[in-house]
Structure 1
């Protein structure tokens, strides 16, 4: 059992005996009462999305998930193909199952495939991935003092903000949980 206050985007929970992926979580606090946790849940089986409100302190069952280490092979436009590291079996997942993880996938990236009842339902990325900067604005002398950053597009199409001293073609580490620049690789 997990407390609803600890729910995070991407978790899979059981509601009314059905597995649901948490799409969005918002916490609202009342003046003299308990808080409300508003969630948007997507059914793993049917794909239907519904809004569910929980009272603060409620508990829900976490889905019984299993994980298998795999390597990303390629994307053919409709499916993302992975190969299990232990038995070399290949799995094809749709963009809907991958969700925002598609922005971090590069060939040969090691991930974990998430299974629910022996059916793949998604992937779990490493906390940090190394990606190449495809394009960013040139640096001007004196920009490094002001702090902040400049927009950059990575090789996967992801847009992030990087420090002024980072140039096109450099490799950078990106946090897959927040989508933010960590450091140069």
Structure 2
């Protein structure tokens, strides 16, 4: 389906130069002289290569609708393969860790993720926005640090280093943002 470049938003998938691209970032620019344009940062799917492209606002591009299905993560197979089960059909699929990217550290057994595919080919795995992790090691509290913005380093059960408030200790379960690995809050119960 063709759409005008002005309608593009981050997360849209377009077909451009014979490949599928995800719009990571798009800045609409109206210079003092000359026509307006969209400065787009595109990421190739599934390769992950990036492209900075300038589109004239009068252009149209092919918007690609991806099929989406909930899949449950079952287990890792070998060094690089992950096995998921479709929640509706109970079919199992094996995907490479590369399809998830850096977010693979947040993947937990039994976690339900969204697998987006095009023509039956899985392209993107979308993790939940938040995940609960346990702190295995935390820096000691430094006396006298009472500033509201003081944080200390902690290591999670998945090996990720995060900044946490001083009152959070080793063994505490916390909620972490999967997009950037930032501390959100203590886990409830």
Which structure 2 residue ranges, 5 or more long, are not aligned? none
1:74 shift after superposition? 2.0
What is the match of residue 85 of structure 2? 83
Distance 1:179 1:62 in 2: 30
RMSD after superposition: 2.7
Give the gaps of 5 or more residues in structure 1.
none
Counterparts of 1:149 and 1:59, CA distance in 2: 47
- Answer whether contact 1:71 1:82 (CA < 8 A) is retained: yes
Matched length: 180
Give the drift of 1:173. Answer: 0.8
**Aligned with 1:6: secondary structure?**
coil
Determine the C-alpha separation between the residues in 1 that align with 2:126 and 2:32: 39
CA distance in 2, matches of 1:3, 1:134: 47
TM-score, normalising length: structure 2: 0.79
Q: How does 1:169-180 map to 2 (within 5 A)?
A: 169-180=171-182
**Equivalent residue of 1:103, what SS?**
helix
Q: Deviations over 1:24-56 (max 9, x none)?
A: 536485752545514243243xx3735241247
Q: How do 1:154-165 residues align onto structure 2 when only pairs under 5 Å count? A: 154-165=156-167
- Tell me, in whole angstroms, the C-alpha distance in 1 between the residues paired with 2:60 and 2:139: 48
